[in-house]
Amino acid sequence: MIKKIVSMALVLSCSSYVFGAEYIVKLKSISPADEKAFLDQNGGVLELVSREGQVYKWSTPKSGLNMKWLGGKKPGPSPVVKIEPNRKLKIFLSPSLEENRARLADALEHEEEPKAAANPPYPDNPEIKKPSKQASGSDPLFSKQWGMSAVDAAGAWKKTPGGKEIVVAVTDTGVDYNHQDLIANMWRNPKEVPGDGIDNDNNGYVDDIVGWDFATNDNKPYDLTLSLMDIVLQGGNPGHGTHVAGCIGAAVNNKLGIVGLAPNVKLMALRFITESGQGGTAEAISAIDYAANNGANVINASWGGESDGEQEEDGLLKEAIERAGKKGVLFLAAAGNGRANSQGGASGFDIDNDPKPVYPAAYPLENVFTVAAIDAENNLAAFSNWGQKSVKLAAPGVKILSTVPGDKYQDTIINLGQIVVTWDGTSMATPHVAGAAAALWSTDPKMSSQSVAKQLMELSTETESVADKVVSRGRLDLHGLK
């Protein structure tokens, strides 16, 4: 659980205290002495984010702080090693949802919300069910998953254990852990006793059975669904994490829905992004540490943030990913879905990640593997970021059919006739590669993450549309797997 430290001066007026800004701070040590020194000098509230990284979230009424000034307010040496704003990270929303948001708002203003426009909202945080035996038989929607055919997923299942013994952490908006096509493949913490209210494995999280919700600090990392009106007003993409999870590891031969690229994998649900589509860097760091410390082999990150000119190349998010890499974790990052070009009032996209990086996709770390998106005709998706130096390969990412909350499946989020919003994005391309990595890794669970990444590159097929836009010059393809 999160450890919270408050300066004594603030405890006396806590009820009226309003925090104006959040920062993430790396101290010289995780010690009461350094915590006290920081709070004596700066006030506010500290919450432990990462023990390994010596990182805290600092909430303060002050905003626009001069980072060089921090810690110099009162006499004594500063315990601060590094400090940066707790920047908001965003899921890479479906581009067609972003493009049509204004039209959707206008349609809703003038007419009643169509019942079939989007999934109805489901209760938040349902009890975590145990998997039961499922029927055996073909998956009825598999033939509609063009992405699986494009990368020869069925061929890979004949040559690999399909991700068995491999854990993929879905760091996202949460996962419908009770979904009929995911429940059997959810990671179950082997050292935790469900529902006893005790932190049995002493990892700092009570009853973390399928993962953790770092946005609300509880043990039910459920993926909220929203009404169409809420989608428009809040700016999110509900169901995003569940859709990602299905691409990676929906079960096979259970007479239900679809199949994931690694149908025997274990899916760890780590929620840090809220229904607004955003989450803090501090919460992302906690999720990454949790994954690395609890057995994840792969982390899927279908989210990120654009460089604002102040984002440090050696930021604390990068340090967390680097720590995970030292524990053998492969970090799959979405390249991004374009960036608005506001210079001079112009509109359009600037999508080359090399000169204008998107993080964490552009971090030059050995364990970061970044993915662009292609469509069913092998064209680079119109929205997809790319980078000759920073993006490794492309994978299917346009109108992708996968799981969504409530035992449902979608390739289309909203269909109002003249307004159609489909499940598109590098967010959808990345889990194809995460699933492929898990399938490859399961042939030898002792293999290094570097070896898995190398195989993914070697198996890629050169594709004209991305030949000068990604490192491999091609797209994900498991056909050559032996």
Task: Respond yes or no: is residue 223 known to be catalytic.
Answer: no
Contacts of 109 (CB under 8 A, 6+ apart): none
Q: Report mean pLDDT in 10-residue bins for the chain, 482 residues.
A: 45 38 94 94 93 96 58 65 92 86 78 51 79 93 98 96 98 98 98 95 97 97 78 78 98 97 99 93 98 99 78 81 98 87 45 91 97 97 95 98 95 88 96 99 97 97 97 97 87
Given the residues 179, 240, 243, 432, select the one marked as catalytic: 240
Distance of alpha carbon 61 from alpha carbon 275, whole angstroms: 25
What is residue 356's predicted lDDT score, i.e. its pLDDT? 87
CA 84 to chain CA mean position, Å: 21
Catalytic residue flag (residue 179)? no
Q: Active site includes 110? A: no
| Beta carbons of 257 and 411 less than 8 angstroms apart | no
| Rounded distance between C-alpha atoms, residue 243 and residue 425, angstroms | 12
| 251-276 pLDDT per residue, tens | 999 999 999 999 999 999 999 999 88
Percentage of residues in the chain with pLDDT exceeding 70?
84
- Distance, in Å, from the CA atom of 134 to the CA atom of 160, rounded to the nearest integer, reads 22
Helix (H) or strand (E) holding 373: strand 368-374
Which of 78, 96, 427, 449 is catalytic? The answer is 427
pLDDT tens digits, one per residue of 357-401: 999 999 999 999 999 999 999 999 999 999 999 999 999 999 999
Q: Out of 139, 172, 181, 477, pick the active-site residue.
A: 172
